[in-house]
């Protein structure tokens, strides 16, 4: 699944959390973050802290993969 916005990421977090039958409060406690953070993350708040978002994703088993742009090596060698 390609995620292109905070809103799409929040929707995924909520879907996975519900599938695992966790409340927002339970997820917050398991991740060591506040309930407000989970609420904001699921609503797609674009200013949520990335470190906390990664903790939540990892706790839920969501795998995030970053790919380098295909021309990265050429650009870094001046060429």
- Report the sign of the C-alpha dihedral through residues 36, 8, 18, 61, in that order: negative
**E-assigned strands of the chain?**
none
CATH number at residue 1: 1.10.260.40
Structural domain that includes position 5 = 1-79
Number of domains in the chain: 1
Prediction pTM value: 0.87
Give the contacts of 60 (CB within 8 A, at least 6 positions apart): 13, 16, 17, 20, 27
pLDDT for 71: 85
pLDDT digits (tens, 9 = 90+) for 5-22: 999 999 999 999 999 999
pLDDT digits (tens, 9 = 90+) for 33-76: 999 999 999 999 999 999 999 999 999 999 999 999 988 877 55
Residue 79 has pLDDT above 60, yes or no: no
């Amino acid at each position: 699944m390609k995620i292109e916005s905070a809103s799409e990421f929040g929707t995924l977090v909520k879907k996975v959390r519900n599938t695992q039958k966790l409340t927002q409060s339970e997820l917050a406690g398991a991740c060591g973050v506040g309930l407000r953070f989970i609420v904001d993350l699921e609503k797609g708040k674009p200013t949520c802290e990335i470190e906390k978002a990664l903790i939540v994703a990892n706790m839920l088993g969501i795998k995030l993969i970053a790919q380098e742009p295909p021309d990265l090596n050429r650009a870094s060698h001046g060429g």
